[in-house]
Amino acid sequence: MKIIMLGAPGAGKGTQAKQIAAKYQIPHISTGDIFRANIKNGTELGKKAKEFMDQGLLVPDELTCDLVMDRIKQDDCANGFVLDGFPRTIPQAEALDAALTKIGEAMDYAIDVDVKDESIIERMSGRRACLNCGATYHIVTIPPKKEGICDTCGSALVLRDDDQPETVKKRLDVYHDQTQPLIDYYNKKGILKTVDGMEPMDTVFANIVAILGE
């Protein structure tokens, strides 16, 4: 079962991807994790990716696709995988399809976790993070016991720069410009499934399981 997770930043697709991976016992593959692992292990692909990242540049589509394909070919992906954060653009999707075709494979599902922009801005601007231990909270849905203080380590909680409303808005603009076209792309391929990301997390997951089967 080969699945791509789609959805705007803050839609909750990462959380759902992890739950899918746990339920179906398939790897959750995020491009960020792949980059970090290859750079840490000093692989040839990792060295190439690091050159771009050190200059503050995006890793080119072809190299990103090579890194993803290298991961997909590992033994633990024999029964499938969940892709989270890739592809982000049509050229990346086309590169992935071409690479999969070469090994006689194809994606089975593209699941779009659909959430309205204003709800995402509200969700993300309510997030608070502990920079000391990494714990995260939300002032409405998961508040700390004491306002502004981490339950785990007692450090001060902060609103991260990338959760500021104006930053979230910019990220959503980029998403609609670059990633939204993927929804049409996978719809034409007949593998797109949409779930309402406004529902509670457990309901969203139940709806995804209804699509994928037990």
Cα 53 from Cα 26, distance rounded (Å)? 29
The residue from 2, 71, 128, 171 that is catalytic is: 171
171 is catalytic: yes
36 is catalytic: no
The residue from 18, 48, 50, 160 that is catalytic is: 160
The residue from 13, 71, 123, 128 that is catalytic is: 13
The residue from 71, 88, 123, 128 that is catalytic is: 88
Q: Would you state the structure tokens that stand for residue 128, as one six-digit string?
A: 């608070």
128 is catalytic: no
Q: Can you tell me which residue has the tokens 């070919």?
A: 73
The residue from 2, 71, 127, 128 that is catalytic is: 127
3-state secondary structure the chain: CEEEEECCCCCCHHHHHHHHHHHHCCCEEEHHHHHHHHHHCCCHHHHHHHHHHHCCCCCCHHHHHHHHHHHHCCHHHCCCEEEECCCCCHHHHHHHHHHHHHCCCCCCEEEEEECCHHHHHHHHHCEEEECCCCCEEECCCECCCECCECCCCCCEEECCHHHCHHHHHHHHHHHHHHHHHHHHHHHHCCCEEEEECCCCHHHHHHHHHHHHCC
Residues involved in catalysis: 13, 88, 127, 160, 171
